[in-house]
């Protein structure tokens, strides 16, 4: 489960940012996770809960903002929404798609006290 390693990285980012801003506690962590990022949301929530124990974000609420997967369809010459990698173009059915968005995961912001 790579979500555990991702959650540990999130903890490091969150704690470093909180300390740099003189915080004692983190109350909310907002993550942006793309639908094509291959991050399982339920596993990420579980991993976040586990790795935050004993940290400044131990009781922090995790909010996840999902972003759509987008791709450029070569035959259609247009940007389209895709739900999963390997899905065909919803307009023409082609599989000649270049993913253009929805692949990343990042910390959007945190609320500190």
Dihedrals φ, ψ of 86, to 5°? 90, -10
Mean pLDDT of the chain: 96
Q: What is the DSSP letter of 22?
A: T
Residue 1: band (very low, low, confident or very high) from pLDDT cuts 50, 70, 90: low
Residue 4: band (very low, low, confident or very high) from pLDDT cuts 50, 70, 90: very high
Domains of the chain: 3-112 (3.30.2320.80)
Mean per-residue pLDDT, 37-63? 96
Q: What is the DSSP letter of 88?
A: P
Interatomic CA distance for residues 20 and 16, integer angstroms = 6
Cα maximum dimension of the chain: 54
Share of the chain above pLDDT 90, in %: 97
Q: What is the pLDDT of residue 3?
A: 96
Interatomic CA distance for residues 34 and 102, integer angstroms = 4
Helix (H) or strand (E) run with residue 105 in it: strand 105-112
């Amino acid at each position: 489960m790579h979500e555990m390693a991702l959650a540990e990285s999130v903890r490091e980012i969150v704690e470093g940012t909180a300390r740099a801003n003189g915080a004692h506690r983190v109350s909310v962590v907002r993550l942006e996770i793309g639908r094509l990022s291959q991050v399982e949301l339920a596993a990420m929530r579980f991993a976040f809960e586990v790795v935050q124990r004993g940290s400044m974000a131990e009781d922090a609420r995790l909010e996840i903002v999902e972003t759509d997967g987008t791709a450029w369809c070569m035959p259609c010459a247009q940007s389209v929404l895709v739900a999963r990698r390997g899905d065909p173009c919803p307009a023409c059915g082609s599989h000649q798609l270049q993913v253009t968005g929805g692949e990343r995961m990042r910390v959007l912001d945190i609320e500190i006290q």
